[in-house]
Structure 1
Amino acid sequence: MTDVPTEGETRTYTRTFSKDDVRQFADLSNDRGTHHEEPDEEGRLVVHGLLTATLPTKIGGDLDVLARTMTFEFHRPVYTGEEIECEVTVDGVEEADTRVDVDASVECRNGGEEVVLTGGFDGVVFRDR
């Protein structure tokens, strides 16, 4: 049986994206904006917004949530070599016979300081799969 997320539960995941990560994501998505392919004066690439958004989706996967909706607001660019910490908080849990509906909020920061992404998701956790 799948463990059910609990209201108020918070999980974090930290990752630093590399230039290779950005290049692989560009190959996969075909998003080849110049800012993703040409380094800035510090030698960094801008990380794709949706690549940054894989941080909360990784946590959602850890919680075994099958997402219905996701919303993200991108506040500032993320650069290769920056440590990004993402925190997901379970805001609501509604239990039914075969599933649990989950609502969660998201906040990601660079180096634990500046907010780079906020948002949320909702979905279901099936009790027996």
Structure 2
Amino acid sequence: MTLHEGAIITFERTFTMEDVELFTRISGDEGKHHLTPDEQGRVVIQGLLTATLPTKIGGDNNVLARTMEFEFLRPVFTGDKIICEVTVDKLERQTDRTAITSSFRCRNQKDREVLKGYFAGVIR
């Protein structure tokens, strides 16, 4: 996909217990709520693991992030399907790079917003 102002990129992911265990080992975020299943057998996903969803556009388009802001609105659990919608708000072509500013919203399978924010950076 070629990026342009107004472009909307949507993707989804369902987090697993294996994802949480790997992120726990990498991050050291061992909060009890990430390790102990609730009465439904789920654990709460680390916020920063959830925040990897909107950064996918960066990886897909070689964005070097300069600024990121995340607002965590409600917990995400293992087994939740999260749909992330990223909007390219601004693209500014420069001599040797392109500046990008994007906003995002992530919703769970019940259409409840779980995360929102923005990021800005450059594409070389």
TM bin, normalised by shorter chain, reads over 0.9
Superposition deviation, residue 63 in structure 1: 2.3
Q: Determine if the alignment matches structure 1 residue 101 to structure 2 residue 116.
A: no
Secondary structure, in 3 states, of the residue corresponding to 1:46?
A: coil
- Alignment of structure 1 residues 30-69 onto 2, 5 Å: 30-69=28-67
TM-score (normalised: structure 1): 0.92
Report the count of equivalent residues.
Answer: 124
Contact 1:22 1:47 survives alignment (8 Å): yes
Q: Determine if the alignment matches structure 1 residue 116 to structure 2 residue 114.
A: yes
What is the RMSD of the two structures over their aligned residues, measured on CA atoms? 1.2
Superposition deviation, residue 4 in structure 1: 5.8
Could you list the structure 1 runs, at least 4 aligned residues long, displaced by more than 4 angstroms after superposition: none
Identity of aligned residues (%): 54
Query: Is there any run of 5+ residues in structure 1 with no aligned partner, and where?
Result: none
C-alpha distance after superposition, 1:97-126 (max 9, x if no partner): 111100000100001600000000000011
Q: Distance in 2 between matches of 1:78 and 1:107?
A: 14
Q: Distance in 2 between matches of 1:100 and 1:90?
A: 12
Q: Show the counterpart of 1:13.
A: 11
Query: Is there any run of 5+ residues in structure 2 with no aligned partner, and where?
Result: none
TM-score (normalised: structure 2): 0.96
Contact 1:4 1:100 survives alignment (8 Å): no
